[in-house]
Amino acid sequence: MTRRPRTGREPLNRERVLRAAIDVADAEGLDAVTMRRVGQALGVEAMSLYNHVDGKDALLDGMADLLVGEIETPPADVEWKEALRRRAWSGRATVRRHPWAPALFAARPQVRLPMVAYLDGVTGCLLGAGFSPQLAHTAVHVLDSRVLGFTRDLFDPGVQGMPDPALLEAMTGGALPHSQRIMAEAVHDDDVEFAFGLDLILDGLERARDSERSG
Partner DNA sequence: ACCTGAACACCGTTCAAGT
Distances (CA, A) of 24 to 31, 52, 68: 9, 17, 18
Q: Which of residues 19-48 bind DNA (CB under 7 A)?
A: 33-37, 39, 44-48
Whose Cβ is closer to its own copies: residue 30's or residue 167's? 30
Distances (CA, A) of 101 to 29, 66, 162: 10, 11, 23
CA–CA gap between residue 20 and residue 152 (Å, rounded)? 27
- Give yes or no for residue 11 binding DNA (CB under 7 A): yes
- Give yes or no for residue 14 binding DNA (CB under 7 A): no
Whose Cβ is closer to its own copies: residue 66's or residue 88's? 88
Whose Cβ is closer to DNA: residue 7's or residue 211's? 7
Size of the site for DNA (CB under 7 A): 20
Least CB distance to its own copies at residue 117 (A): 21
- Give yes or no for residue 108 binding DNA (CB under 7 A): no
Query: Interface residues with its own copies (CB under 8 A)?
Result: 30, 81, 84-85, 88-89, 92, 99, 102-103, 105-107, 126, 129-132, 135, 139, 142-143, 145-147, 149-152, 159, 194, 196-198, 200-206, 208-209, 212-213
Comparing C-alpha atoms, which of 53, 166, 62 is closest to residue 116? Answer: 166
CA angle, 189 then 191 then 194, to 5°: 110
User: Max alpha carbon distance in the chain (Å)?
Assistant: 82
Judged on CB neighbours under 10 Å (0-12, 13-18, 19+), 120 is: buried
Contact positions toward DNA, by CB under 7 A? 5, 11-12, 33-37, 39, 44-48, 50-52, 55-57
